[in-house]
Amino acid sequence: MNQSSHTAFGVYEFFRITVPGFYVAALTVLLYRCFVQTFLIAQLHPAMLLFLFLFLIIVAGLTLYANETTKRRKAFLENQPSRYLSDKARTMKNMPLLDETAARQLYFYLLNNHMPAAFHEKIFFFGTIYHIMSSMRRTSFWFALLGTLAIAYEIANTTPLIDMQAVLIFTLAVWLVYVLNVRYNKADRKMQENYQDQIFWLQMNNDLVETTLRTHREIVAIER
């Protein structure tokens, strides 16, 4: 992987942390303004709010980044190029089966050393979009649920409708974001298209793939 790829990787990873973190922080502030602050005797100073906002961006962003939920979704697990390598090994004579770890290592070897730089950019970009949209979908659902509970609380306390306008608009808007994210889920489709493009490249470079698998077999045999 060349220097430009390293730079692109760092930029995309930065956005994978900060964009979901910003979304969580923004919804938290909106919910605070719409509902929570009415229960506070003393209001937070604007400087303190700014500090908490920035702090929440970092903490929420890193938490969502470390969460493995996005990597357990069907759109991420299906048709992975590393699985193609495992299937390819099964068709070759005298070739031991590849476990998931070995297949992933060989995939990244081919990606970093042989696949064109354009593939790297595409993988980084759509991987980042997939992570951001998946995180936003989950965040929207939970904040929409919190907003719904806040509305239920206000109704139970016979709060006039005019006093509930802010939390109603907030909740409806977040539910709308969630529904649109689910309904028009382009990120999952693009992730699968990205996988298919990489698999096609592997198929078109069959000699290289087979040579890499045989070299791996020899290395494993020597280590044993």
Burial tier of 107 (Cβ tally within 10 Å: 0-12, 13-18, 19+): buried
**In degrees, to the nearest 5, what angle opens at C-alpha 61 toward C-alphas 107 and 101?**
20
Measuring CA to CA, how many Å separate 195 from each of 6, 78, 117, 190? 21, 9, 16, 9
Predicted TM-score (pTM) of this structure: 0.77
| Model confidence pLDDT, tens digit, residues 5-40 | 556 778 888 999 999 999 999 999 999 888 888 777
Residue 44 phi/psi, 5-degree rounding, is: -70, 145
Query: Does 57 have pLDDT greater than 60?
Result: yes
Average pLDDT (132-144) is 93
pLDDT score of 47: 87
Tokens 């908490």 label which residue?
A: 52
In this structure, are residues 144 and 180 in contact, taking their beta carbons and an 8 Å threshold? no
Query: Does 82 have pLDDT greater than 60?
Result: yes
Query: Does 76 have pLDDT greater than 70?
Result: no
Task: Measure the N-to-C terminal CA separation of the chain; round to a whole number of Å.
Answer: 30
In sequence order, what DSSP letters do the residues of 58-70 get, joined into one string? HHHHHHHHH--GG
pLDDT score of 7: 65
Cβ partners under 8 Å of residue 99, min gap 6: none
pLDDT score of 72: 63
pLDDT score of 196: 87
Distance between CA 185 and CA 133 in Å, rounded? 9
pLDDT score of 87: 87
| Model confidence pLDDT, tens digit, residues 143-193 | 999 999 999 999 998 888 888 899 999 999 999 999 998 888 777 788 788
Residue 81: domain span: 3-223
Confidence of residue 66 (pLDDT cuts 50, 70, 90): confident
The domain total for the chain is: 1
